[in-house]
Amino acid sequence: MLNFFKRIFQAVKSFISKITPGEVAWKGANKAIATTAVVIWILGALFMFVLEAGTPIGLTLIVIGLILAFLCSASLILLLLILKKLPKSFLWVLPGAFFLTTIIFGDSLAIKFPLLVIGFSGLAGAGLFSLTKKNRGGLSIYQVVVSSLGSLIGLAGLVWGLIWLFDTGSKPEIEHIDAAQTSPYKAQLIEATNPAEEGAYKVGYLTYGSGNDKQRKEFAEGVTIVTDSVDGSRLLDNWEGFAGKLRTHFWGFDEEALPINGRVWYPEGDGPFPLALIVHGNHGMEDFSDPGYEYLGKLLASQGMIMVSVDENFINSSWKDIFGDGLDEENDARGWLLLEHLKYWRKWNDETDNVFQNKVDLENIAVMGHSRGGEAAAVAGFFNKLQFYPDDAKQKFDFDFNIKSVVAIAPVDGQYKPGEIQTPLENVNYLVLHGANDGDVQSFAGLRQYERVKFTDSIYHFKSAVYIYGANHGQFNTTWGNSDSGQPYGSLLNKKALLPMEDQLEIGRVYISAFLQATLQGKKEYEALFKDHRSGNNWLPTTIYLNQYESSGWKIIADFEEDLDLTTNSSGGKVTSENLTVWREQMVGMKWGNKATQAVYVGWDSLAYEGKTAWVEFSVDDNFTLAEAAALTFELAESKERSYPDKDRDKKKKDEELNENNELNNGNNNSNENNQDTEESEDKEEDDKKAPDPIDFSILLTDTSDNTVQLTLSEYSYLQRQLTVDVLKTPSLQSAKTSEAVYNTFFIYNDMLISKSSEFNLNELFKVRFVFDKSPKGVIIIDKIALN
């Protein structure tokens, strides 16, 4: 048998030698390739750089291209010559080591990590092996010195790398100024119990589920109520192949038999009690996520609400997915499963002898989610009113629950798109929380869903978005903790800049409890927290919060969605301005993509129009009225861009005019301007060492009777500068932006206006003018000017 294989090998080797190109063939191939490439380049470049450009200067580009081609070939030959000098054993090790060390951190450290590892370990190994007793005898004094230095540098580099990997990061060198808390306005504290305090109810706990879970006894023999499985195969893709078989083996079921598992915290009492479901997001499926909301379950149950933490670990990602593509765009299934859980609660409420018989207030339901679960909560709200799955009518829906509220914690957005559009959501109360230091969903993606929440019926609703400085992705779930990614990538995160976990959990307790008490239990006093976080100063841990808020009673003056005409607004009024250095409308950009909403960008700079004040004014159409308006509201954010983009152009133009007038004066003026540039440069260096002051300007309002009233923005709150955060320990490793524009909603209350002018009538508002007379320069984003 061995001889047989030898003969086959020799035959193949002989055949290959007969068809291997000879020296003449290689020469011919070289000349043909070179000639073809040069001809293509010359002809193509002639058309691009000479004929179409209409200038012979393009001929130089043709020559430069040929030179660069030669240098590329020469560089490759040089590299091959260097590699030829290296030992074969080293060439065997190098590519494999590079592959193994690159795959550990992927794109985050790119080529840096493998080069450092190979470089430092190579130096250490070369030096130490050379200095061993066996090899040291043949070394010269110079070689001993070089070997010693190499080993010391290599070992120091490896030790430094280990220290850096295990280090938790650093606090910001320059702390942001909290614009809202430094303003003179003092919000009235809410006169109610701290929503994070336990209520009067004794809390019960149980689980329901399949009764035969392979991995967790609480969903096996530990269940109080046994549930049937549901078929999710029309909503789940890619539970197939070897990866799918491994997933099925781990759980004991596939996509056609998904379990209805839940952990329930409930108040012991007669009821009926509002019902809130929460679902986790994506995480390693073997590290179960659903226990991580116990802190919310116990709190809400003590306050008279039933809370369920829904188990959907079985559709989370896993290391097993390396053998396939993993489940694809599964957030529709996550949302659908929430509604399948609600069907059981509707059944149990009517079921004789069930522990929850007549205990569930089905008129007051909330769905909540974290990360992918946050998007799933919105999907559930959307699916709830449909009769069919929008992507496949063979999947019928029969839900129609009275979902009053949706809560999203650091949600993704657009992972699932029904009919290839973003998920719409109507006539629910909506709350979204997001941490500025989120290391997973690094952009406030939930703001896009926030903008898509519309109020079209006659029932009162409100929505709120809260951005929290120092909060990350995982600390809203006690099992996820402070690492927003698994190891080893998690070691790159800047954890020292985070809020303490207990503070972040407390923020979750305050906001989520207050929201559910306001929307499900009718405790309207808590709604003030979502207009202005300062009304809960005695409840919330100290950090910077940005609040957005809107209710169904608002009447929009300008939201800039109607067109790109800078001179018009949504109410039919006009927009005018003077002395602005920036003025445009556009989609609002974020770290990832855009907010899917338009706004107006305006900028000013005291150097641009010396002695003149910049302003922008929005007039209101004659037919626009709102009886008994309580406040004027608008959304603002800083835009991090140059406040005077035409500065260099204007300076050049000014210099040219001075040159034309008088050469002597030009010299004097140049000297003065050089001094001014030096002073500005020194000022900028000084500013870089401290946090910039928050933005302030004046607001001038005019009613239809020509009565005016003026106040400053800071009389409610200064405008917060963008919150810059280093998600990773080394900022140069970050691929995403370090900050993004997040709105704060400003309220100019009627009481504030009446105290300045008793004659001014907000109900007859005619003009809103922003006068940039306080902060010397800036660029801001203005959106959604409204009366409410």
Average pLDDT of every residue of the chain: 90
- Residue 668 maps to a domain: no
CA gap 204, 513 in Å, rounded:
18
- Work out the end-to-end distance of the chain between its first and last CA atoms, rounded to an integer number of angstroms: 91
CATH number at residue 493: 3.40.50.1820
CA gap 298, 265 in Å, rounded:
6
pLDDT tens string 725-737: 999 988 777 777 8
Structure confidence at residue 665 (pLDDT): 52
Query: Do 598 and 541 fall into the same domain?
Result: no
CA gap 757, 748 in Å, rounded:
14
What is the phi-psi region of residue 498: left when phi exceeds 0, alpha when psi lies from -120 to 50, beta otherwise?
beta
Structure confidence at residue 510 (pLDDT): 98
**What does DSSP say about strands 545-551 and 575-578: parallel, antiparallel, or unpaired?**
unpaired
CATH number at residue 617: 2.60.120.430
Of 551, 571, 604, which residue constitutes the final position of a domain? 551
Structure confidence at residue 732 (pLDDT): 77
Structure confidence at residue 650 (pLDDT): 84
Structure confidence at residue 671 (pLDDT): 46
Q: Answer positive or negative: Cα dihedral of 761, 763, 765, 771.
A: positive
Query: Do 379 and 310 fall into the same domain?
Result: yes
pLDDT band at residue 475 under the 50/70/90 scheme: very high
- Residue 777 maps to a domain: yes
Q: Provide the 3-class DSSP secondary structure of residue 767.
A: strand
Instruction: Of 90-94, 105-109, 292-296, 444-448, give the lowest mean pLDDT range.
Output: 105-109
Note the pTM of the prediction, 2 decimals: 0.89
Query: Do 523 and 408 fall into the same domain?
Result: yes
Structure confidence at residue 133 (pLDDT): 60
pLDDT band at residue 106 under the 50/70/90 scheme: low
Helices (H) and strands (E) in the chain, counts: 18, 25
Query: Please, is 128 exposed, middle or buried when counting C-beta atoms within 10 Å of its C-beta (0-12, 13-18, 19+)?
Result: middle
Higher pLDDT, 117 or 103: 117
Structure confidence at residue 503 (pLDDT): 98
Instruction: Of 41-55, 329-343, 551-565, give the lowest mean pLDDT range.
Output: 41-55
pLDDT value at 254 more than 90: yes
Structure confidence at residue 388 (pLDDT): 97
Of 505, 523, 551, which residue constitutes the final position of a domain? 551
CA gap 166, 673 in Å, rounded:
50
Query: Do 511 and 587 fall into the same domain?
Result: no
Query: Do 416 and 565 fall into the same domain?
Result: no
- Residue 324 maps to a domain: yes
Who contacts 207 (Cβ-Cβ below 8 Å, separation ≥6)? Answer: 218, 219, 222, 223, 224, 261, 262, 263, 264
The mean per-residue pLDDT over the stretch 136-161 comes to 86
CA gap 209, 644 in Å, rounded:
62
The mean per-residue pLDDT over the stretch 532-557 comes to 96
Query: Percentage of residues in the chain with pLDDT exceeding 70?
Result: 94
Token look-up 């990538």 returns: 489
pLDDT value at 534 more than 50: yes
Output the CA–CA distances (angstroms, integers) from residue 587 to 86, 436, 560, 741, in the order listed.
55, 21, 10, 12
Single out the residue of 426, 430, 384, 429 nearest to residue 411, CA to CA.
Answer: 430
Higher pLDDT, 704 or 90: 704
The mean per-residue pLDDT over the stretch 366-371 comes to 98
The mean per-residue pLDDT over the stretch 705-725 comes to 97
Query: Do 563 and 520 fall into the same domain?
Result: no
pLDDT tens string 279-295: 999 999 999 999 999 99
Query: Do 499 and 631 fall into the same domain?
Result: no
Structure confidence at residue 465 (pLDDT): 98
User: Structural domain tally of the chain?
Assistant: 2
Query: Do 539 and 560 fall into the same domain?
Result: no
pLDDT tens string 425-466: 999 999 999 999 999 999 999 999 999 999 999 999 999 999
530 and 549 Cβ atoms separated by less than 8 Å: yes
> Residue 335 sits in which domain range?
179-551
Structure confidence at residue 679 (pLDDT): 44
Of 507, 524, 551, which residue constitutes the final position of a domain? 551
β-sheet bridge partners, residue 601: 584, 781
Structure confidence at residue 733 (pLDDT): 78
Query: Do 529 and 581 fall into the same domain?
Result: no
Structure confidence at residue 429 (pLDDT): 98
